[in-house]
Amino acid sequence: MTEALLHAHKKHVAVLMGGWSAEREVSLVSGAGVAKALEEEGYRVTAIDVQRDLGGLMHALTNPRPDVVFNALHGRGGEDGTIQGVLEFLGLPYTHSGVQAAAIAMDKAMTKRVLDTVGIRSPKGMVLSRGEITGGTHPMPAPYIVKPVDEGSTVGVTLVREGQNSPVGDDSFFGGTFGERVLVEEFIPGRELTVGVMGDRALAVTEIVFQAQVYDYTAKYSAGHAVHTIPAAIPEAVAEEAKRLAVLAHHTLGCRGVSRSDFRWDDGRPGTDGLYFLEINNQPGMTPLSLVPEQAAHVGISYGALVGWLVENAACQLA
């Protein structure tokens, strides 16, 4: 019997899912998986499909009032400090990072600046506006990466190749839920690595091999578009450094619960010289294809035990 199960029957958990970001569908899948697993662990669960309706949400969270909120939202409004502020106002303990850590982690440019102060290296880059990136002048030599500053799940990630006339084509890049700013970064050749962190512990290093040249939204959430190798077949020194940096990023930003840091490793450079931090996800996905549950299983932690631990960890925040 898990420790979480010993406490489960005493707790009512509200699982927040859906939301209004570009990642709504992924969040719904994550939330459904979390709700099912928590029920199997013995918790009493209420699933809430979050709409852009503050009054309705507050009513759902107070009639009845849950013991803990499991935040399974992704993207804007869900992992950028917005919903966290509502939960703080209501005095409800919730999973994952708090307001400040969530806001910083969601802003990729700000994350890079903060982590640079503790020696975590990321690709050289700059933040540009709509007008600056949709013209015909390239901001840096191609190839380079263009991505929204504050979207998750690799939404909108674009590789600009040599020979393209315009960095991103036209204003259509900024349609939908994208903001007015983009992050432009040098493209690091090599391999894609990711490390999940659970509390103070790095779970594992996974290498992600995908068909496209960049690990985009389709590759991340569509079966057959990416292969996860766990543990990654890389030198031990590189794996240990990636784990160290992931834990350091987690703590430097003030993340709670679980997070996941993504890296590029240029295997053409010696030792750990080619390892670059890309971004941190302070609310990693919980879909069947998600990386953190996969890494947890690799080290002997079941999906149910993982979500149960998140609930109990959150319950301690206001204890």
Sorted by where each starts, the structural domains of the chain and their CATH numbers stand as 3-95+301-315 (3.40.50.20), 104-123+190-282 (3.30.470.20), 125-186 (3.30.1490)
Maximum Cα interatomic distance, the chain, rounded to a whole number of Å:
61
Backbone phi, then psi, for 40, in 5-degree steps? -65, -25
Please identify every residue annotated as catalytic: 23, 153, 221, 260, 262, 279, 281, 285
Tokens of 73: 């939202």
As a whole number, mean pLDDT of residues 149-171 equals 67
The structure's pTM equals 0.87
Contact 227, 220 (CB under 8 A): no
CA distances from residue 303 to 2, 201, 308 in whole angstroms, order as listed: 12, 17, 8
How far is it, in rounded angstroms, from Cα 273 to Cα 3? 41
Of 87-91, 130-134, 184-188, which range is least confident?
A: 130-134
pLDDT per residue as tens digits for the range 262-288 = 999 999 999 999 999 999 999 999 887
How far is it, in rounded angstroms, from Cα 301 to Cα 204? 12
The residue among 153 and 276 whose pLDDT is bigger is 276
